[in-house]
Chain A
Amino acid sequence: MRSSSAAEDKLALLETAPAEGFGFVFAIRTARAWWYSAWLRTLARFSRTYFGSFWLGLSNLLSVALLGAVYGAVFNIPNPWEYVVYLGLGYTIWGFISLTVISACTLFSIRRDQLINNSLPAIFYCLEEWAFQVQTFAQSLVIVMIPILFIKPVLWLHALTSVWLPLINVVLFCFWITALMAVLGSRFKDVAQLMPILMQLTFLLSPILYKKEGLGKMALIADLNPFYRVLAPLRTALIDGDVYFRAEFATLFVNVILILIVCYWLKRVRYTMPFWV
């Protein structure tokens, strides 16, 4: 048997490597930490369930199947399988955007203990939340894509070829919206109450359950809807394999600018944030 002092001696003190900075450089340096921390949240969420993180896709799949059956009949869709693909992809991407917005509103309030007790920049929590939503989305999308493989196999080809730029845009959009809503949700407590209602309304006003053409003269509603503007190109790229490069690069540019703005904003409110939560 080892003596207790021998055991103590064996746990050698390790050097720390605190990451410097607030923005992009900090995000890269701490990437493994926030990505792993986000993954642990998924593990914790499903730790005592039988299906584990498979629930993420399963619940989504069930919703798509039920909505597809009901609304396919309501709208009298001539080709129900194509409608299921359209709905399935739109609903999954919407789930990603919507969950990102709603969860971000309470991000800093939930992480209050960590926020007031360590000096990690606020962007770390935004990155972790964003990574959690990206991981959730990736699992949901893959599980939805499995049955789609049997309905319309060409989608997998599109998923491997056309989808990258619209996908990057959706993912980047979700990062800056996370940071934006996290700060707004901390500053104004009403935001966390307002956003679920607003997102529900936006969902009904967005061409997800129905085609955009169905809006007729009211198509402007979809054009002015920023959530739909990032959702639609990804869905189109997956279903038809079409990518409008000019529009996508313009969106990418806007996303990058907005990311820089929210990073700067996070840096500015860093020290006032602990007093808001």
Chain B
Amino acid sequence: MGSRSLKSAFVGGLTGGLLNRSRTRGLTVQALSDLNFTIQKGDRVALLGHNGAGKSTLLRLLADVYAPSQGRIWRHGHIAPLINKSFWVDTDLSGRHAARAQYLLSRNTINGFDQFLDQLVEFTELADFIHLPIRTYSDGMKTRLQFGLLTAFRHEALALDEGIGAGDQWFLSRARQRLSEFLGQVGTLILASHSIDLLSQFCNRGLVLNHGRVVFDGPLHEAFAHYSKGVTAS
């Protein structure tokens, strides 16, 4: 489904949709179909599949960004999506502004922000750079700030896309522990990634997607085997 032009809406309206029915419906892509599974509280699910298999779409469905065109999803509790890794604010603004905006969005209060900022500055080693515009940061400094902000909040359930573990040398030495602590404290985790290392560390169940369908749902090591077989075959 896509946006429409006023012309096609007008012509469609006048002719009862007969003249341009196919045009107004636009290009339809069926990203997912025939999904039927349950994720229990405390499950740690790995989403596996080639590019375009529907992993990100499924994460958005689970996190209430999209709604299914058919069928239903029953959610008990809030599933936080962690898909977008860009800053909420303009990069002409400072790291402090970015931190404050993220804090308000996550907690709806400013109480405790100063203490949070002190801890964030110490963790990211940004020192006085926190007061400078983000556009003046090096790539490594931006990554540290993003990572610090994304992993600062505890979530009941998390739908996480890959990429959060990627970064510079700083990640290898310091952030691995932080990521482990962050994901370790998530109640329920749905993690989409191609990294077997990352998935092995945090997940115990695997869902393999192929062309929008779940072709395997079971223990993680079996899911890896299933996925590897598919990759080899293709």
> Which residues of A are interface residues toward B (Cβ below 8 A)?
2, 4-5, 7-8, 10-19, 29-30, 32-33, 36-37, 40-41, 43-44, 47-48, 113-114, 116-120, 186-191, 194, 271-272, 274-277
Contact = CB atoms under 8 A, between A and B. Distances in A.
Contact of A13 (B3, B9, B182): B182
A8 B123 contact: yes
Nearest to A118: B81
A36 B65 contact: no
Given A14-B106, A17-B106, A44 B5 contact: no
A119 B88 contact: no
A82 to B, nearest CB: 41
B127 interface: no
Given A4-B174, A44-B92, A118-B65, A33 B108 contact: yes
5 contacts: A15-B107, A32-B104, A117-B60, A187-B4, A188-B5
A10 B88 contact: no
A24 to B, nearest CB: 15
Contact of A11 (B2, B6, B152): B152
B109 A114 contact: no
Contacts of B173: 4
A33 B110 CA distance: 9
Interface of B: 1-7, 9, 60, 63-67, 78-81, 83-84, 86, 88-90, 92-93, 97, 100-101, 104-110, 112, 116, 119-120, 122-123, 125, 133, 148, 151-155, 173-174, 177-178, 181-182, 185
Prevailing SS type, chain A contact patch: helix
Contacts of A194: 6
B177 A5 contact: yes
A265 to B, nearest CB: 16
B111 to A, nearest CB: 11
B110 A189 contact: no
Nearest to A41: B90
A118 B4 CA distance: 24
**A7, A187, A191, most chain B CB atoms within 10 A:** A7
Contact of A17 (B84, B108, B116, B185): B108
A117 B81 contact: yes
B182 A33 contact: no
Given A32-B109, A40-B97, A11 B66 contact: no
A117 B120 CA distance: 24
Contacts of A33: 101, 104-105, 108
A47 B92 contact: yes
**B93, B105, B152, most chain A CB atoms within 10 A:** B105
Contacts of A40: 89-90, 93, 97, 101
B7 to A, nearest CB: 8
B84 A113 contact: yes
A192 to B, nearest CB: 10
B119 A12 contact: yes
B81 A119 contact: yes
A250 to B, nearest CB: 32
Given A33-B105, A118-B65, A119-B65, A186 B154 contact: no
Contacts of A271: 66-67
A114 B174 contact: no
A37 B107 CA distance: 14
A113 B64 CA distance: 15
A15 B186 CA distance: 11
B152 A13 contact: yes
Contact of B116 (A2, A14, A189, A272): A14
A143 B194 CA distance: 56
Contact of A10 (B84, B101, B112, B122): B122
B88 A37 contact: yes
A11 B108 contact: no
Contact of B154 (A10, A13, A19, A275): A13
Given A11-B119, A29-B108, A32-B110, A48 B154 contact: no
Contacts of B182: 13
B119 A17 contact: no
Contact of A189 (B3, B105, B178, B181): B3
Contacts of A4: 173-174
A62 B233 CA distance: 70
B80 A13 contact: no
Contact of A8 (B4, B106, B174): B174
Nearest to A191: B6
